[in-house]
């Protein structure tokens, strides 16, 4: 278990806005509806309330400052390797036991390559926030997947939909490699994509239809830190506030994406009719 001591960098962000907008504290107070007293307290590095965070970061977002996304670009230039984690209620510590058993690859601490990936998984939660981490992977055992049959089988196993096939030797081999790794790197599969996988395990579509539908839905890669040894390689960088406006924009994008996935599945069913079904793969 690793402690995470990250706070919103609102003091630095206020200074950035003052400089960028060429305004003073009184003008910022008028525009954000945050009192001068509260702004001065923040400048003294004192904590403030969620209401204040919301007012300030909503003002930034309304004025087209995509500060979180730009920070992502800058820290990727500064650090060699950066990952992001979306938390529904905030982090004080991280653990390999933090995830549910039925996550894509079982227990572990899950991160994504980009800020947007992390937001997509927590934008429905009003108390959510995003964290960035620097890491080094030297000396760790890493299992990597691409968008393949093995990847799909692994996720279906951990999400509990393989049924009678979960004790198959092929499945045991894949799971054994995962459980003997410090880090698993694999394509992200959200709930919409898992809906396609479930159709495969239910025998409704063949493997080719499933994989072509999934490969067209590129969400990027996820990193699952499965051991304490791996967690020790993570160094927290920053915590990012998600205002209501930003979360609402992401929800709209996710809705649009769900329509695209439905269309891809329908087209794949027309194009790939000769692939193997699940009962034909485990013979």
Q: Could you tell me the two tokens for 198?
A: 């479930």
pLDDT at 259: 77
What is the mean predicted confidence (pLDDT) over 231-255? Answer: 92
Provide the pLDDT for residue 216: 63
- SS3 label, residue 3: strand
- 210-234 as b/e: b if 16+ CB within 10 A: bbbbbeebebebbbbbbbeebbebb
Structure confidence at residue 178 (pLDDT): 97
pLDDT of 199-222, one tens digit each? 999 999 999 999 888 876 667 899
Q: List the domain boundaries for the chain.
A: 66-281
**92: Cβ contacts below 8 Å, ≥ 6 apart:** 3, 4
Q: What is the pLDDT confidence band of residue 2, given thresholds at 50, 70 and 90?
A: confident
pTM of the predicted model as reported, rounded to 2 decimal places: 0.90
- How confident is the model over 100-108, as a mean pLDDT? 83
What is the structure's pLDDT at 99?
60
Q: What is the pLDDT of residues 140-152, one digit of tens each?
A: 999 999 989 999 9
**pLDDT digit string (tens) for 155-203?**
999 999 998 899 999 999 999 999 999 999 999 887 778 888 999 999 9
């Amino acid at each position: 278990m690793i402690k995470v001591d990250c706070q919103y960098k609102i003091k630095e962000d206020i200074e950035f806005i003052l400089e960028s907008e060429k305004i003073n504290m009184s003008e910022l107070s008028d525009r954000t509806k945050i009192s001068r007293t509260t702004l001065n307290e923040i400048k003294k590095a004192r904590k403030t309330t969620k209401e204040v965070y919301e007012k300030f970061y909503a003002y930034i977002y309304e004025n087209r400052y995509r500060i979180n996304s730009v920070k992502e670009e800058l820290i990727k230039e500064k650090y060699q390797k950066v990952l992001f984690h979306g938390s529904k209620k905030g982090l004080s510590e991280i653990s390999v036991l933090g995830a549910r058993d039925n996550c894509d690859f079982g227990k572990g601490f899950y991160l994504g390559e980009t800020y947007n990936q992390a937001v997509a998984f927590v934008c429905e939660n009003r108390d959510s926030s995003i964290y960035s981490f620097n890491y080094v992977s030297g000396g760790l055992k890493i299992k990597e997947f691409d968008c393949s049959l093995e990847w799909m089988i692994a996720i279906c196993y951990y999400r509990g939909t393989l049924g009678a096939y979960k004790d198959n030797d092929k499945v045991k081999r894949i799971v054994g490699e995962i459980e003997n790794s410090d880090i698993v790197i694999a394509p992200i599969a959200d709930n919409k994509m898992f809906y396609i996988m479930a159709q495969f395990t239910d025998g409704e579509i063949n493997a080719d239809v499933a994989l072509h539908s999934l490969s067209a839905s590129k969400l990027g890669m996820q990193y699952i830190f499965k051991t304490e040894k791996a967690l020790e390689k993570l160094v927290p960088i920053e915590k990012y506030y998600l205002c209501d406006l930003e979360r609402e924009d992401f929800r709209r994008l996710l809705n649009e994406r769900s329509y695209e996935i439905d269309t891809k599945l329908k087209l794949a069913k027309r194009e790939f009719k000769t692939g193997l079904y699940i009962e034909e793969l485990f013979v």
